[in-house]
Amino acid sequence: MALQTRYEYIIGFILPITDVIILNALYLIPHYCINEITGGFGAETHKNYLVVCNLIWLLSSALVGLYEVNGAEKTKQLYVRTLKCIGLHAAMFSMYILFFESNQFSIPMLLFFYSFFVFVFFSMRWIGNRLHANFLGKDKASKKVAILGSNNTAVKFSSFLSHQRNLDFYGFLGNDDSIYAEENGILPSGISQKFIEAVEYGVTDVYVAVAPGRMGDVTALINEAERNCLRLKFIPDLGSTLTAPYR
């Protein structure tokens, strides 16, 4: 099973529960508003109708995949699918009323209900996204990473890191020659200073794109990283061992 981000966890597990709670609250609020205006409770507040309302919401959310957003632009997907879900719910709930309970429901009740529905649901999603962005901002300040290497794998991986909102990509610390020790077992000059500068900036993890056949040549690099309290994460540079078109 794919590893879930916190955003996907919130959408998949927490949001459905809060949505149902809010839905029930929004169904009952118009009931009391109408009571204040008309001085009497309508038959539309009967518990059986509330059950139908909840079942239709669950069906609508499943049909539009409301809690299954993934890939890029998750926030935009959530807003668009929420609007589709509300529209589908309004259509199915209205049809149910029209065909089965046409004498029981009032138009003011539906107008109150869906007005609250749209306003509150989108407000809650906006607030949730703002809070989530703030938490990501805090994480971003504490998670700084860098890359060592100049091969095609390192370049592609740098593009991936630079688009991660919960990471602060420091940049490249050196080229491929900086990874492997020389014949005397000493690292090329300059890499030690690069490590020191990265640590001063706050970098904790360094991704190293290594050719699979040269893992035995990185012992000196590992020792130097340990002296600077840096954690190395090795990425196999398969592109260097494969012929086109398999790269």
Per-residue pLDDT, 63: 93
Q: Which of 140, 166, 190 is the last residue of a domain?
A: 140
pLDDT of 1 over the 50 cut: no
CA dihedral 20, 26, 27, 29 (to 10 degrees): 150
What pLDDT digit, counting tens, does each position of 127-157 carry? 877 876 666 555 545 578 999 888 888 888 8
Q: Could you tell me the sign of the dihedral formed by the alpha carbons of 170, 176, 177, 181, in that order? A: positive
Position 232 confidence tier, pLDDT thresholds 50, 70, 90: very high
Q: What is the pLDDT of residue 92?
A: 93
| pLDDT band for position 28 (cuts 50, 70, 90) | confident
Instruction: Please check whether residue 121 is in contact with residue 22, taking contact to mean a CB–CB distance below 8 angstroms.
Output: yes
- The predicted structure's pLDDT at residue 55: 94
For the segment 40-86, what is each residue's pLDDT rounded down to a tens digit?
445 555 557 788 889 999 999 999 988 886 554 667 888 899 999 99
Burial code (b: 16+ CB inside 10 Å, e: under 16) for 117-139 equals: beeebeeebeebbeebeeebeee
Q: Is residue 186 part of a domain?
A: yes
106 and 207 part of one domain: no
Q: Are residues 133 and 30 in the same domain?
A: yes
> Does residue 246 lie within any of the structural domains?
no
Among the candidates 102, 120, 140, a domain finishes at: 140
Looking at the fold, whether 70 and 182 belong to one and the same domain comes out as no
Domain interval for residue 189: 143-240
Do 78 and 157 lie in one domain? The reply is: no
Confidence of residue 102 (pLDDT cuts 50, 70, 90): low
In this structure, are 121 and 41 located in the same domain? yes
Task: Print the SS3 string covering the chain.
Answer: CCCCCHHHHHHHHHHHHHHHHHHHHHHHHHHHHHHHHHCCCCHHHCHHHHHHHHHHHHHHHHHHCCCCCCCCCHHHHHHHHHHHHHHHHHHHHHHHHHHHCCCCCCHHHHHHHHHHHHHHHHHHHHHHHHHHHHHHHHHHHHCEEEEECCCHHHHHHHHHHHCCCCCEEEEEEECHHHCCCCCCCCCCCCHHHHHHHHHHHCEEEEEEEECHHHHHHCHHHHHHHHHCCCEEEEEECHHHCCCCCCC
Q: Is 11 a residue whose pLDDT tops 80?
A: no
Whether residue 213 lies inside any domain: the answer is yes
Give tens-digit pLDDT for 164-216. 777 888 888 888 888 887 777 788 778 888 899 889 888 889 999 888 888 88
pLDDT at 246: 40
Domain boundary among 112, 140, 168: 140
User: Which is more confidently placed, 41 or 116?
Assistant: 116
Query: Would 37 be classed as within a structural domain?
Result: yes
Same-domain pairing of 184 and 92: no
Looking at the fold, whether 116 and 23 belong to one and the same domain comes out as: yes
Give how many domains the chain has, as a whole number: 2
Statement to judge: residues 76 and 188 lie in one domain: no
- Confirm whether 182 is domain-assigned: yes
Tell me the whole-structure pTM to 2 decimals. Answer: 0.51
The verdict on 35 and 69 lying in the same domain is: yes
User: Does 163 score more than 90 pLDDT?
Assistant: no
Is 203 exposed, middle or buried (CB count within 10 Å of its CB: 0-12, 13-18, 19+)? buried
Sorting pLDDT into bands at 50, 70 and 90, what band is 5? low
Question: Which tokens in the block code for residue 133?
Answer: 């962005």
Q: Which amino acid is at 216?
A: G
Judgement on whether residues 152 and 34 belong to the same structural domain of the protein: no
Residue-level pLDDT at 87: 93
Residue (of 135, 151, 141, 127) closest to 209 by Cα position: 151
- Distances from the Cα of 116 to the Cαs of 33, 41, 80, 122, in angstroms? 12, 19, 18, 10
Domain-embedded: residue 155: yes
What's the pLDDT at 138? 54
